[in-house]
Homo-oligomer: A and B are copies of this chain.
Amino acid sequence: MLTSYIAATPAFADGTDTPRAFLERCLERVAAREKDILAFVETAFDRARQEADAATARWKAGSQRSTIDGMPIGVKDVIETIDMATGMGSPLFTGWRSGRDSASVMALRSAGALILGKTVTTEFAASFPGPTRNPHDLARTPGGSSSGSAAGVAAGFFSAGLGTQVVGSIVRPASFCGVYGMKPSLGGINRLGSHDFMSQSCQGVLAASLADAWQVLTEIASRAGGDPGYPGLVGPALLPSARRPRRLVFLETTGWPLLSEAVKAQMSEALDKLRSAGIEILGRSDNPEVEAVEKAITTSLEVTRLINAWESRWPLNIYRERDASKLSKDMRERSAEAENLTQAQYRRALEKRASIRAAYAKLAQVADGCVTLSAVGAAPIGLDSTGNPAFAVPGSLLGVPALNLPVLNEAGLPLGLQLMGYEQQDADLFALARTVETVVGVA
């Protein structure tokens, strides 16, 4: 039920469709399914309707503010909004109002986008899950931490949702919910005004198509830039043209042994299709640089966890002091673990991360990008875990752009193919993704 806004916009100019009518179709789906899916924490439908009318008038007059003028968007509830509370998935922040829009939300509004509501996040965008269910099977997790943004796109509630990723929080729920998901290069999208302060954290997007994902990212970046000190995402004003890669690296990661035989077979089939299209696939046995990367990234989760724990020592210590009973057991354990770490351990972890990044950077001489899975399988049953991050965590640690394409499945449930690119080459990753999507085919 993916509902691309970008695909609808040509009809806005000739009057056969309108942003207001598009919004109403979204709201009908919300009315029908939100009671089961629980993607939203809070909504702002009245404001959205008013703004959709204004966008309708602008498109008719040919004076739309941007390519996403009138697009309905969900905002992960760690990202601040002036008109809605920012609850962070924590009882410590229920109803907390920052009194401002984040840099990204401010940019989206100035591009004319409609902020439909705040979407469910795990506690502080970490692992303790919220109530959201997977639209493809209500008994299953939508993944996390950007749970509501992924589920909302999958259910056709909105065309794009803002998310954040520090381990697997965009790529994994995108895979489980069968939507497009893009974690940009480190610093690609300004994350000021978001509870998203770790050194691997990125703000990104879950979306109904590659075009919706690209337009949201580029409309934010051109107005709000990237993180302070980073050049920020750049590229063409419209979705980059398809580019056929000469070579792609296939990465097994630590996730490969965890796959079912059926998923392994599907991945092999996808690789065969790429080969048939004239794209050379390099695996660990084909090239020493690939083998070096495979070895280097085996520690991705361990290094990421140590870095994240040290970097979240504060504010967890202050939250714990305020009211420890309002932190999940998970979070209290993470805080205790953080208090046992030393600055020296953290420095060693940073050095380790730098060496893994250096190994990966060498691949740029070898291939146009990497292809792997986005998750170890379809969304698991139950809402108590957001799933294994084995395939998503390397992209987070490496700081490179990572994109989920919803082109595979396991027993009829969505499963994503993941493309990983090189730092600052986000636009090129979209160009490659267009080719890969066409070759492998939509699920």
A residues with a Cβ closer than 8 A to B are: 82, 99-103, 106-107, 190, 192-193, 197-199, 221-222, 224-225, 228-229, 231-232, 234, 310-311, 313-315, 317-319, 322, 343, 346-347, 350
Contacts and interface: CB of A to CB of B under 8 A. Distances in A.
Nearest to A341: B225
Contacts of A225: 310-311, 313, 343, 346
A199 B232 CA distance: 13
A314 B228 contact: no
B229 A314 contact: no
A415 to B, nearest CB: 32
6 contacts: A99-B322, A102-B314, A190-B314, A225-B346, A229-B311, A231-B347
A237 to B, nearest CB: 12
B193 A314 contact: yes
A233 B232 CA distance: 27
Contacts of A317: 106
Closest 7 CB pairs of A and B: A199-B229, A103-B314, A199-B228, A228-B311, A100-B318, A231-B347, A225-B343
A343 B232 contact: yes
Tell me which of A107, A221, A317, A322 has the highest count of chain B C-beta atoms within 10 A of its own C-beta: A317
A224 B106 CA distance: 31
A224 B318 contact: no
Nearest to A319: B100
Contacts of A103: 314-315
Contacts of A101: 318
A232 B349 CA distance: 13
Contacts of A221: 343
A313 B350 CA distance: 30
Given A225-B310, A322-B100, A343-B222, A315 B199 contact: no
B193 A315 contact: yes
A192 B191 CA distance: 14
A350 B193 contact: no
Contacts of A229: 199, 311, 350
Nearest to A98: B98
Contacts of A192: 197, 314-315
